[in-house]
Structure formats: C-alpha cells, structure tokens
Structure 1
Amino acid sequence: MHDVAAAAGVSVKTVSNVVNDYPHIRPATREKVQRAIDELGYRMNLSARNLRQGRTGIIGLALPELSLPYFAELADSVIRAAEDRGLVVLIEQTSADRQHELDVLTSERRQLTDGLIFSPLELGPDDADALKVPYPIVVLGERIFGGDWDHVTMNNVDGARAATQHLIDRGRRRIAVIGAHAGEAMGSAALRVLGYQTALAANGIPFDPDLVIEGGLWHRATGADCVERVIASGVEFDAVFGLNDALALGAMHALHAHRIDVPGTVAVVGFDDIEDAAYASPTLTTISPGREQIAATAIDVLMARIAGDTEPFRRVIADFSLIERESTAP
C-alpha cells in the first residue's frame, strides 16, 4: 500500500479509502490511485483487514443432507452468492439428526465463522431457545417460526396450492399426494399438504385421506415406494403431486415400471425445480421455489447483521413460479 501511495503521489490513507470503496473521494484521485494499483499489481490483504475488523470472511452453512438434490443445489447457490460478495462458505451436514443440528449451533467451528445460515429439519418450536446464539444467524425452512432471528423461507402453502390447481385445471380429480409426514404440525410436508387441501376445497373436490401417502426422507426411492403402495391399495388416482421433485421422479419411475402412461393416464407434478426435473422422461412439471432469491437474500441479511445491523428481525418469503413441462401436458 505504501508503494501504491508513492506511485500515485497520495497518502497511504487515501489508498486505503480507495481500496475500501470510501465514497467521498474525488474521481481524479480515485482514478490515479487505481492506475497505480493496476500497474503495481497490488492486492488487498483480506486476512489482515478481517482481523482488524474482528471477522474471518467465512460464513457457515448447515444443511440436512447434501445427497438430496435440492440442498445440494441450494448450497451451490449460496456459495456463488457468497463469492460475489467476497465471502467463503464452510458447509456442514447435519444428516437430519436433531442432536447434530443442536451441535452445529454450539460447535467450536463457530469461532471460525462470522455467522451461520442454518436449515434445520428436526428442530421444532420447543427448540427455539437453542437459536438464541451470540452470533449472526439466518434460519431457512419452516421448522421454527417467530423468534429473535432472521428467517428466509419459501412459499410452501401457495406453491403447493398452485401445483394442485394446475393438475385440477388439467382435468384431474383423484390426486395422490406423496411424502406426507404423519403428525407433523409444522414443516414443509405439513404446509404443502395444506396447500393441496386448500386447492381441493376451492374447487369443490372432496378430500380423500386415502390419497395422502406418507413417506420418510424425500428420496426417489421413497417416491417409488409411495406409488407402489397406492397402486397396491387399489385406490384410484389420475395424478400424483410429489412434495418434492425427488419424490415425483421416483413416482414416475414406478409408474413407468407398471406401464402406466405419464401424463396420459396419470399426470405428475413436483416441487423444487431441481436440475434433473428438466431432463427426466417425460420432463417434470414443478414449482420453482425461488432458490436463487433465497440464497442471495440469506447472504445479504447475514452480511448486514455481521456489519452490525440492529433493525428488527426479518422474515422473507421468496417468490415461486410454476414450471410447466411434459409430465402434465394436456
């Protein structure tokens, strides 16, 4: 920095103001300093700057399971958004285990990070006190609402309602919903089933509990098993709403195995718009929940808290859209 100052004929403080993008600098001075920076190949020592500011430049991202395509693609979106803002992401997998989720919040690794983006699957409202941590945190998902933390999530109810309405608009009346979680009062499964029920009611279609098929973790194998069970039960259905794309893709595999035409006999819709959805056969109609918006918003909110923002805690619901593809073609 002293070399740049000497080459530009300015003070070291002026060089510091330029590289830190201080706004009140004359354009001619900024240009002169930037030219010296380019000629000398100067690069800011980010480690030294972060140490002075009491920061590491690293944020944590704790996700349930990277083998689930949605979370893998979400991690990719977060990493790219962080890189655009000069941050590094430390990823931790909790394996959808309650104790692992609690351990992430108190881990010594938190000393390495300036803040945490956290997506719990097993914690619930009774665990709200665990999220009262002494560092910036942004919570994703639907497990815990209304606490003293920032929350970025997707519109599960309206997205599921739109997916179900799309099937109804295609003339389907016996819509099986797969991947439900019995007894769940809060969470993506409960909210998406609520959206499904809302669409049925709005169209005067009776709710049939036999068409709500329970499943565990939302993998392709779970979706295939759900369809196998509904076929074996003899319950008539003309559409399948997979509560995520992996379930829907597994459902289509099982339907193909039984030589049931998709979408002719059974239409299929998913939720999440993972990359595989666009390359399935047939391609999968799905709800895009605003993954890029979720990632960018979570990063920006976390950065603001790291910088000392004391505004009231935010709850941001991302926009969604219906992506129509071949699995529901008329």
Structure 2
Amino acid sequence: MSAAAQGDLPQRRRRTGVIALAVPNLEEPYFAELTALLCRRANDRGLAILIQQTEGDHEREVDIANGVGLPDTDGLIHIPRALTVADLTRRTSPGPLVLLGEHIKISPFTHITIDNRRAAADATAHLADVGRRRVAFIGPRDSRPSDAADQRYAGYREAVAAHDLATDAELTVSVDAFTAAEGARGVAQLLASGATFDGVFCSNDSIAFGVISALQGAGLRVPEDVAVIGIDGVRATEFASPPLSTVAPDKDAIASAALDELDRQMRTPPGRDMPVQHVTVMTRVIARASTGR
C-alpha cells in the first residue's frame, strides 16, 4: 500500500504482526496442546503469538482484554474463566477479539467452542454401550464454578436418564480443579462412601489419569472392574496404562477457526458493521483399552 493510501486510513492502526493469546494455565495438557497448535498455525500465517497466562483470575483477564501491560498487538484470542460480557463491553482498548471455550457462550463477541453437553453425553453413552450400569461422574465444580463443567454434568445426567443408568447421589463427586490429583481424590471419596460403580466418566483427561492411578492403587482393574473415559483428547491418553478412552475435540479446527475469525476482524475496516460468528467444533469418541475397546 502506498504512503498516500496509508494516509487515507488514519483510523486504522498499522499491523504489528503479533497477536495476543490469554490462556488459563499451561500446566493443563489441553491448553498446552492448543497453545502449541495456535502458535504453529499463526506462524504459517506470518504471525507471532504473545502468550499470557491468567490462572483464571478475573482482574488479570480484564487487564489482558484491555491491553494493560501488553505491547501493541493486532488482536486477541482469549480463553476466559472469569471474564463477563460486561467486562468486554467496557474494554478500554477495543480491537479484534475471539473467545474460545464454553464461558461467555452467549455474547455479542465472536466465539469458538465445542458442544460440552453433547461430548459428555457421548462419553457416558459409550460407557453404557460397553455394558456399564453404575457410572460415576467425577468433575462438577462447586467451589470454583466452570461453565464447561456445568455443561458436562448436564450431558452426563441426560445420558444416565436416556440409558436408564444408576442415579445414586454418591456417584457424583465434585472437584476443585481439573487435575489428576483431584481425580485421585475423587476415587478415594467414591470408595470411602461405599458406592459401587463399574464406570467413571471424568470431566477431562487429567482427572481421568488420576482416576486410573487411584483405582489401580486400590487393587481395581481398568477396565475389567471399572471402565474410565475422559474428555479433551490430549496426546498422553494414547500412552496411559491402559490407554485412555476420550472424547476428542478437533483441536486443529478450533485453532484454524480462531485464527480465521481473528483475521476476518483484522481485515475489516474500523467502523464497518461485522456479523458476530459463533462456531461449534465437532468432537468424537476415541475408544481405547480403558473402556475395553
């Protein structure tokens, strides 16, 4: 573009070639893998990514949405845990924005997600299909609410009803975080309650890793005694012992959709009306040895 043409667009900032990514926690394998994928796909497009870890802290998420402490960037991909629509409508540094994940699903901002309810229902239905009748769920979040956890709990309950599975209250165990340690604690709680169960659906794969370890430590065989399935499709599921069944989102599609939508906003002249996009990416059950397949 000529200097004269550049002068015709005083309201448009010059491109930096850098976009920001706000992610809750890179210790969580799903976020680490998605971040790596976004970095690779961005590099293919000639973009660099500035990664900011928020720990799900509301103040930190708001600061990043407002560009506080950040250099100039061309746009922001945000995976929020505490941010609200009100926070975003008051952004002091508005610009291209794409939200990832279940949180703030209904909003006037472009959003990329999976159908967490459907994914959970599919996971629970898979356990029913392999003959499990008393399926526990480790994963509701009470102390630190999570929209994804709420949707996955709703999907679990739908599948329990649809397949006429046991509905005992003690079969549901809440967690404080989606970690292997919380999965192990959940198994200890199930065993201490005296509940009988032959399957466990876990809110994510990290919880499932802890569940398998704790079950084996208690002398229970997976999947002969208890079948286990998670959600997220992280690479380590293939190498767990036994390999973990999981419901895997199309992470490549998530990354591509996020960058496509951000690019669409970056290319739209300021002030021009632009339709908001809400994209739901498909998931699929990957059956492995932890459920007897």
TM-score w.r.t. structure 2 length? Answer: 0.90
Match for residue 18 of structure 1?
none
> By percentage of residues, which structure has more helix?
1
Residues 165, 115 of structure 1: alpha-carbon distance in 2 compared, 3 angstrom cutoff? same
Are 1:323 and 2:283 matched, yes or no? no
Residue 124 of structure 2: aligned partner: 164
1:87-126 alignment, distance < 5 Å: 87-124=47-84
C-alpha displacement of 1:53: 6.6
The DSSP-based 3-state class of the residue aligned with 1:138 is strand
Alpha-carbon distance in 2 for matches of 1:284, 1:199:
20
The answer to whether the 8 Å contact 2:124/2:156 transfers is yes
The answer to whether the aligner puts 1:193 opposite 2:156 as a matched pair is no
Aligned to 1:5: none
State the AA in 1 paired with 2:122: A
- 2:22 and 2:279 map into 1 onto residues whose CA distance is 19
1:224-263 map, 5 Å: 224-263=184-223
Matches within 5 A, 1:1-330: 54-124=14-84, 127=87, 129-130=89-90, 134-182=94-142, 187-308=147-268, 310-329=273-292
Q: Is the contact made by 2:80 and 2:103 (CA closer than 8 Å) also made in structure 1?
A: yes
For 1:182 and 1:249, how far apart are their aligned partners in 2?
Answer: 21
Structure 1: distance between partners of 2:233 and 2:240: 12
Please give the secondary structure, in 1, of the residue aligned with 2:112: strand
Give how far 1:133 is off: 5.3
Q: Following the alignment from structure 2 to structure 1, what is the Cα–Cα distance between the partners of residues 274 and 31?
A: 29
Paired letter, 2:242: P
Deviations 1:97-145 (A, max 9, x none): 1111111112345542100000011234564535685101000111113
Structure having greater relative contact order (Cα 8 Å, sep ≥ 6): 2
Gaps of 5+ in 1: 1-12, 14-51
Contact 2:22 2:64 in 1 (8 A): yes
Deviations 1:55-101 (A, max 9, x none): 10100000000001000001011011111111100000001211111
Cα deviation, 1:4-52, whole Å, max 9, x if unaligned, reads: xxxxxxxxx9xxxxxxxxxxxxxxxxxxxxxxxxxxxxxxxxxxxxxx9
Q: Could you tell me how far 1:259 is from its partner in structure 2?
A: 1.1
Q: Is the 8 A contact 1:132 1:148 kept in 2?
A: no
* Alignment coverage as a number of residue pairs: 281
- Aligned with 1:286: secondary structure? strand
Change (3 A) 1:194 1:185: farther
Identity value in percent:
39
Deviates more, 1:174-183 or 1:60-69: 174-183
